[in-house]
């Protein structure tokens, strides 16, 4: 479905995603502090921060790979397809590495400092819910579904 969105739609999804995730995160931190769970509150902040960092790294990685691929493209059809395959493989690999690192961090914190680790999971979930809601809104407003 994202492929059917106009160019630049994903970048327009990100700003409201960041704002809504931060707003929900502030509420969640407030609830954690009211429940006397400062480590969980710190974990929520850390989780949202990790999610935002992942998103920024994804965006900068996509831009860098697209620039590298555009600079190396020779203009022939088969070379363009090969470049697209290389770009997709690089992006998949980099995304997988980032997700494995985030997963290891999360599991490690859940095992070593459960309140902090669970807070991290909550922060990651808050960000993902904000992303899905904003992406769904963009898809519906574009009339794709």
Q: How many domains does the chain have?
A: 1
Cβ pair 106, 43 in contact under 8 A: no
Q: What is the pLDDT of residue 72?
A: 57
Overall size of the chain counted in residues: 145
Q: Angle 89-84-5 (CA atoms, 0-180°, nearest 5)? A: 100
Q: Is residue 59 part of a domain?
A: yes
Q: Is residue 2 part of a domain?
A: no
Q: Is residue 60 part of a domain?
A: yes
Q: Is residue 1 part of a domain?
A: no
Domain containing 45: what range?
13-32+39-68+78-141
What does the DSSP assignment read for 87-125? HHHHHHHHHHHHHHHHHHHHHHHHHHSHHHHHHHHHHHH
Q: What is the pLDDT of residue 22?
A: 95
Mean pLDDT by 10 residues, the chain (145 residues): 55 87 97 96 97 86 66 54 75 91 97 97 97 88 72
Q: Is residue 120 part of a domain?
A: yes
What CA–CA distance (Å, rounded) separates 17 from 122?
16
How many CB atoms are closer than 10 A to CB 112? 9
pTM: 0.80
């Amino acid at each position: 479905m994202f492929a059917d969105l106009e160019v630049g739609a994903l970048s327009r999804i990100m700003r409201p995603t960041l704002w809504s995730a931060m707003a929900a995160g502030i509420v969640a931190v407030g609830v954690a502090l009211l429940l006397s769970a400062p480590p969980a509150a710190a974990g929520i902040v850390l989780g949202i921060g990790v999610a935002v960092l992942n998103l920024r790294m994804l965006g900068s990685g996509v831009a860098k790979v697209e620039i590298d691929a555009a600079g190396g493209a020779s203009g022939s059809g088969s070379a363009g397809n090969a470049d697209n395959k290389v770009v997709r493989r690089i992006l998949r690999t980099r995304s997988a590495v980032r997700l494995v690192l985030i997963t290891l961090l999360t599991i490690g914190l859940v095992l070593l400092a459960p309140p902090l680790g669970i807070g991290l999971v909550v922060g990651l979930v808050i960000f993902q819910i904000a992303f899905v809601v904003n992406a769904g809104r963009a898809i519906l407003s574009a009339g794709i579904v």
